[in-house]
Structure 1
Amino acid sequence: AGFHVVGIDKNQARANAVDNGRNYIGDVSDDDRVGLEVKLQDGSWYHFDGNQIAAVLCYFLMLDPQGPQRKGLVIETLVTTKMLGAIVAKAGESWIIDDLLVGFKYVADVLKTLERDGRYRHVTCSPDQLVLAAEESHGIMVLPTIRDKDATPACLYLAILYQRLRREGNTILDYYLDVLEHLGGYADVNRSIMMVGADGVLRKDRIMDALRRRPPQVLAGQAVQKVVDYWNEDAFGPFVSESDKLPRNVVQMMTDRFVITVRPSGTEPKLKFYCQLIPGSELSSVRGMGLLNELRGKADSIACLLYSELLSLIDVSIGPVGLLLPDIIDLDRKCAFEQKTVPKLREKISDGSVTRLDDLHVWLTAEVSGLIPGADPLPALRAPVAYLCHGWSDELGSITLFRDLRTWAM
C-alpha cells in the first residue's frame, strides 16, 4: 500500500514502506506539505521535488483518461513548473494563473477576489472551480474552502493513483516519465548563493540592483526576450507598505528555452534563483529515465552558468569545482576550497606523503572542517572531487591513491 505518513521523518517513513510497498507519501507534522518517494528495483529511492508532485497531481486530475478529467482553474507561483500551463492548455476550457509571488497567501487572495467579484484579471470563474493550486516548495491545495496549502487531500489523490498503478505493475515514477514524454522537455532547478554577514547583505543587494539597472541581454547563451521586475509600480501597482517591498523583490528573465527568476531572502544574506526549462523546437529521441536525466542535466548546466553570471555582477569568480559544492556552503568557503584546498589535495596525491585513502580522508576532513559546521564534510565533496579526478586522470592515473579516490568519488 501507499503511505500517508504524518509527523515522522523521511528515514522512518522509508523503513515503514520497506515491507509494505514501493512508495511512501508523506506530509510534515502540521499537514501542510506533500512529500513523495518511490522505491526503485535496485533498492534505492527516487525523491520527487515539489514541481514534480504538482505535475503528477495536475495531470492526474485533468488529463489522465482514468482520472477525474477535471476542467477549471489552476493557480501556481511564478517559480513553479511551467508544465502545469501545458496541462491546462491540453485540458481546454480551463484557466491558469501562473505569475503569483511566492506564498500561499497570494493564492488565497485570488480565491477571495473570485469569491467577491467573480473575476480575477483574465479569469472569470468561481473558487469552486479550483482544480489545483501549487508552489514548488511542496505546497498543494485542492480544496478552495481551505485557503492555504493542505497536504491531506493531495495525499489521498496520490494514494488513489498509486493503488491503480501498482495493480498495473507501475510506479508513480513511471507515471511521471510518461507525462514528461507526453508534454515535452520541462525541468526545474533551484539554487541559492549563500553569503555571510553584513558584506553578504551588501552583495545580494548589489546583484539585485545590477539586474535592475542593467538587465542582461543574454543569459547562459540565450537571448533574453523579456524582463519582469516586480518592483515596477506601473506594472504591479504601488507598494502597500514597506513590508510589501520584500516579497516583490523579484526579477524574472525569459528566454525561448528557459525562465530565470531571482529573489533574495528577506531574513539572511542569501540569493535564490530558479531555472525553469521549457521545451524547445527540437524533439529528444530519449525516453524514460534517460529523458529525465537529460533534461535535468540541461537545467543543471544552465543553473551553473547563471550562478557564475550573477556573481560576475559583483566581480566574483567561481569555477566548476566550487559550483559543484552544495549550496548550503557559503560563497567564501566555496572559493577558499577551490583556490586553497584543491591545490593541496593534488599535492598530497602526487608527492606520496599520503598513500592510504583513509588517511587522505582524515586530512581532507580536517582541511575543510568548517565547510559545513556540525556535519561530516566528505559527502559534500564527492561531486567536486569526481570532477577533479576526471581532469587529473592523465597525470595522476598511475597512482594507487588517486585511483582509490576516484572510485570513492564516483
Structure 2
Amino acid sequence: MDKYQTLIEKAKKGFGTLDLPDSFKTDALERLGVWLTDDMFADYVPQIDHLIASGQWDFLLDSFYQVIPFGTGGRRGLVGVGPNRINPWTIQASAQGHSQYLIKAHGASARSRGLVLAYDVRRFTDTGRYAPDRPNPVEDLDCRQLAEAAARVYAANGIKVFLFEGTRSTPELSFAIRHLNAVSGCMFSASHNLPTDNGKKVYDQYGGQLVPPHDQDLVDEVTGNVSAIRTMNLDAAREKGLLESIGSRVDAAYHAAVAGLQLSDARGVKLLYSPLHGTGLTSVYPVLKAMGFDIHLDPATANPSGAFEHVTFNIPNPEVIQSFDTALPNADAIGADVIMSTDPDADRIGIMVRHDGAWKFLNGNEIGIVLTEYAIDQYRKKGRLTPNNVIIKTEVTASLIDTIAAENGIDCIGDLLVGFKYIGERMNRLEAEGRQDDFILGTEESHGFLMGNYARDKDAAGAAVWLAELASLLKADGRTLVDYLDRIYAKYGYCHNFLTEIRLLGARGIGRIRKIMDHLRENEIRAVGDFAVSEKIDRWQGEPQPHLSRTDTSSRNVLILKLADLPGTRSIRITVRPSGTEPKFKIYIEVLGRPFDLSAIEGAKASLVDVQKRIERAFMADCYAILNVDFPERGFLLFWQLPLDDKLKYFEIEEQIAGLKHVADAGERKQQLDGLLAFLGANPVQKVDRAFDARYGTGMLAYLGLE
C-alpha cells in the first residue's frame, strides 16, 4: 500500500467516527483522493498529511465534502486547504470556468472588452489548524494575491484584465465595469465576515451579480467543464496588452457619480467615520470630504487591516452594534453628531446618532425607511416626483417602505428575493425601458442601499451622502435622524423588524439547517406559541415553474408565516431562509402597527417590541425542538451570532467558570478563564456576560474578582 492509499485509509476510518450522512463521507474521500494524487495539488499535500496525522476529522471532512457553492453573494468561506475552502486553486478553478463562461456568452467581445478585478484588505493569518513547520499555500494569503492568481488565468484565456492597483470598494468595481464597458468583473472579498474568511463575487456586464439561470450556467462551467487551468505570467500578460492597471481616473469618475446624487446643499452636521479597517477610505471618506462635509476619521479603525483588530469580536459588520464600540469615545472627543461606518468592501453602511445626549443605533430597515421618506420629500420639492417613480426592495425589508411609497403615489417593487442582485436586475429592466430616471432607491434590510444609475450593487457612499445631507438639514432645525424616524412612524405606523439566526457550522450544520426547513415546509403549522398562523407561503411555489436552475431553487428557499393580527397591528410575519453565504438559518420577524399620535410613541413601540419578543422565543424554541436541542431560556442573552454548538458548550462549562472564584491567585484565575473561553474567539466575556449575570447576579469578571 503506497503512502497516499495509507492516508486515504486513515481518513476513511476517521470519517467513520463522525455522525454525518454517508454521502458526505463518500464525497469527501473522493475529493481527498484527487488532492493527494494529482500533481496540481502537490503544494497542498504536506498540510493534508498533517490534518490526517493529527486526526482533525470534522475539519478535514468539511474541507473536502463539497466545492464551495455559489450563493446570494457569490463564493465565500473559510480560507484553507481543500475544495470547500478559499485558496489559490479554488480561485483559479473558478477563474478558468468563468473565462470559459464569458467566451461562450460573449464570444470575441469577452476578450476585447475584458473584465475588471478589485479586492479589499483581507489577509489570512489564522493558521492554527495547520502545521507551522510545513509549506502552507494559504499562509498570509491576501485579497491582492487572490486577484493576481485569477488575473493569470483570465489573461491565459485571452481575456483582458483591468486590475486596480490598490484596494477598492465593491460599488466602485460595479461602477468600473459599466464605466469601462467591460463584460464582467470580480471582487475579492468576504465582505463583513470574520478575518478567517475570503471569497470572490462575480459581476455581469451591467455591474450586478449574476441572477438565475446565468449563475447556474457559471457554476456548471466551473464545476463540470474545467479540465485544466490555464495560467500566464503577469509580466507576460502586461507585455501582450492583456493586463492593465487602473486607479485614479476611474476613482475620479466614480466619486463624481456619487457626488451627483446630491439632493441638498446642507452641510452643518459633524461626522465621525469608521471604515472598520476597510476600503471606505477610497469611497465614502473622499466623496464626503470633497462635498464639503465636516467628516473626521475614527483613529482606531482608519488603518486598512484584514485583522480588524480594533473591531469588537473582529466582526467588521455595521449591522452589529458592537462594531461601533471603539468609535464611540472618539466621537465624543470631537463632539460628533453622527457616526457612520462601513464594512471592509464598503457596500454596507451603519449609523449611530447623538440624540438627547445618548447614542442611538439605526438598523438597516430604519435607515431604508429614512432614506425613502427623505428622497420622496426632496424629489417632490424639486418637482421630480411623478407616479412613475419607483422604490425597489427585497421581501424581508420593512413593509413600511411599501406603505410610504403607496401613500405618496409612487410604485414599490417590494417582493424580491434576498440578494441585492435582484434589485440590480430590476434596475436593468427599467434602464432597458428607458425609465432609469424613474428609479429613486434600492434598499435591503442588511444595510444595503443604492440610488442613481451608476452601479448595480449597493453603495455605502451614496447612502452616506443622503444621510449626511438629511442630518445637516435636521440639525439646522434642532432635530436629529431619530426625531425624523419617529415622525415617520407616527405618520404611517410603527414597523418593528427583528433579525436573528441559528448558526450551524460545517457539514453537520448544513444537514441541520435542511432539517429545520424541511420540517417547516412539510408540516402544517397552526400556531407559533400563542400566535395563530393565518397563512404559510412557500417561495418554491409560484412563477416561474419549473424553477430556472438549482441556484433559483436555492434563492427561493424561503418560507413566510403570516400570523393573525392583534389589536393595534396591521400585519405580523415570520420569514425564514438558509443564508446563501454563511452557515446559518436566518429568521426575520416583522410587526407592523398603525399610525398614532407622536406623544404616544413609547407605548406604541413597546407593545410591538413585546409581541416580537414573544414570537422570537416561541419560534426559536420550536426550531430547537426540531433539532432535539434543549435550549435554556438564558441562551437568548448570549451574543446572537454565536454558533449554536458554542452556546451549548458555554452552558456546559458555566459552573466550572463560576468555580474559578476559589482559585486563590488572580493571575492563575485569569489564565484558566481565558483557556475555558478560548473557543469563543475575540472578546469572549462580552459574548456571554449577560447570561452569566442572569444566573449569578453580577458580571463574570466582577464575580471572579478580575475587573
Structure 2 matches for 1:4-403, cutoff 5 A?
A: 5=273, 6-7=280-281, 9=301, 11=326, 15=330, 18-19=333-334, 21-28=336-343, 30-40=345-355, 42=357, 44-62=358-376, 70-71=385-386, 72-91=389-408, 93-116=409-432, 126-232=435-541, 234-255=542-563, 256=565, 257-279=571-593, 286-287=600-601, 292=605, 295-338=608-651, 340-344=652-656, 348=659, 353=662, 364-370=673-679, 372-373=680-681, 375-389=682-696
Q: Distance in 1 between matches of 2:494 and 2:705?
A: 33
Residues 490 and 597 in structure 2, CA contact (< 8 A), matched pair in contact too = no
Residues 54 and 140 in structure 1, CA contact (< 8 A), matched pair in contact too = yes
Quick one: percent identity of the two aligned structures?
Answer: 26
Q: Distance in 2 between matches of 1:17 and 1:130?
A: 38
Residues 189 and 276 in structure 1, CA contact (< 8 A), matched pair in contact too = yes
SS in 2 for 1:216: coil
Residues 100 and 107 in structure 1, CA contact (< 8 A), matched pair in contact too = yes
Task: Kindly provide the CA deviation profile for residues 21-49 of structure 1, in whole angstroms up to 9, marking residues without a partner as x.
Answer: 3113444565532322213454x532222
SS in 2 for 1:380: helix
Report the Cα offset of residue 377 of structure 1.
1.2
Distance 1:26 1:214, change over 3 A: same
Report the Cα offset of residue 343 of structure 1.
4.4
Q: Return the letter of the residue paired with 2:426.
A: V
* Alignment partner, residue 397 of structure 1: none
SS in 2 for 1:278: strand
- Report how many aligned residue pairs link the two structures: 383
Q: Return the letter of the residue paired with 1:320.
A: E
**TM-score after normalising by structure 2:** 0.48
Residues 271 and 337 in structure 2, CA contact (< 8 A), matched pair in contact too = no
Q: Distance in 2 between matches of 1:362 and 1:188?
A: 41
* Alignment partner, residue 71 of structure 2: none
The gaps in structure 1 that reach 5 residues or longer are: 119-125, 391-399
Q: Distance in 2 between matches of 1:52 and 1:235?
A: 31
Report the Cα offset of residue 14 of structure 1.
7.0
* Alignment partner, residue 121 of structure 1: none
Residues 51 and 80 in structure 1, CA contact (< 8 A), matched pair in contact too = yes
Residues 439 and 452 in structure 2, CA contact (< 8 A), matched pair in contact too = yes
Residues 494 and 594 in structure 2, CA contact (< 8 A), matched pair in contact too = yes
Residues 2 and 25 in structure 1, CA contact (< 8 A), matched pair in contact too = no
Distance 1:330 1:382, change over 3 A: same
Q: Return the letter of the residue paired with 1:274.
A: Y
Q: Distance in 2 between matches of 1:127 and 1:408?
A: 60
Root mean square deviation, CA, Å? 3.7
Q: Distance in 1 between matches of 2:576 and 2:612?
A: 15
Task: Kindly provide the CA deviation profile for residues 40-97 of structure 1, in whole angstroms up to 9, marking residues without a partner as x.
Answer: 454x532222111111111122258996684521111011112202211221x21111
Q: Distance in 1 between matches of 2:503 and 2:443?
A: 26
Q: Distance in 1 between matches of 2:341 and 2:397?
A: 20
* Alignment partner, residue 123 of structure 1: none
Residues 262 and 272 in structure 1, CA contact (< 8 A), matched pair in contact too = yes
SS in 1 for 2:686: helix
Q: Return the letter of the residue paired with 1:85.
A: D
Q: Distance in 2 between matches of 1:83 and 1:31?
A: 26
Residues 272 and 336 in structure 2, CA contact (< 8 A), matched pair in contact too = no
SS in 1 for 2:640: coil
SS in 1 for 2:509: helix
Distance 1:369 1:169, change over 3 A: same
Report the Cα offset of residue 214 of structure 1.
0.8
Residues 562 and 573 in structure 2, CA contact (< 8 A), matched pair in contact too = yes
Larger radius of gyration: 2
**TM-score after normalising by structure 1:** 0.80
Residues 74 and 95 in structure 1, CA contact (< 8 A), matched pair in contact too = yes
Q: Return the letter of the residue paired with 2:684.
A: P
Task: Kindly provide the CA deviation profile for residues 246-301 of structure 1, in whole angstroms up to 9, marking residues without a partner as x.
Answer: 2121112212342211111245432111112211699997435x755664454344
Residues 506 and 583 in structure 2, CA contact (< 8 A), matched pair in contact too = yes
Q: Distance in 1 between matches of 2:492 and 2:666?
A: 46
The gaps in structure 2 that reach 5 residues or longer are: 1-268, 274-279, 282-296, 302-323, 566-570
Report the Cα offset of residue 162 of structure 1.
1.1
Q: Return the letter of the residue paired with 2:368.
A: A
Residues 63 and 87 in structure 1, CA contact (< 8 A), matched pair in contact too = no
Task: Kindly provide the CA deviation profile for residues 94-146 of structure 1, in whole angstroms up to 9, marking residues without a partner as x.
Answer: 1111111112221122223344468xxxxxxx332222210111111221453
Q: Distance in 1 between matches of 2:699 and 2:400?
A: 46
Q: Return the letter of the residue paired with 1:376.
A: N
Distance 1:170 1:405, change over 3 A: farther
Residues 17 and 23 in structure 1, CA contact (< 8 A), matched pair in contact too = no
* Alignment partner, residue 395 of structure 1: none
Residues 492 and 595 in structure 2, CA contact (< 8 A), matched pair in contact too = no
Distance 1:269 1:108, change over 3 A: closer
Distance 1:217 1:127, change over 3 A: farther
Q: Distance in 2 between matches of 1:179 and 1:401?
A: 38
Residues 251 and 263 in structure 1, CA contact (< 8 A), matched pair in contact too = yes
Residues 239 and 245 in structure 1, CA contact (< 8 A), matched pair in contact too = yes
Q: Distance in 2 between matches of 1:298 and 1:407?
A: 38
Q: Return the letter of the residue paired with 1:38.
A: V
Distance 1:364 1:283, change over 3 A: farther
Residues 562 and 574 in structure 2, CA contact (< 8 A), matched pair in contact too = yes
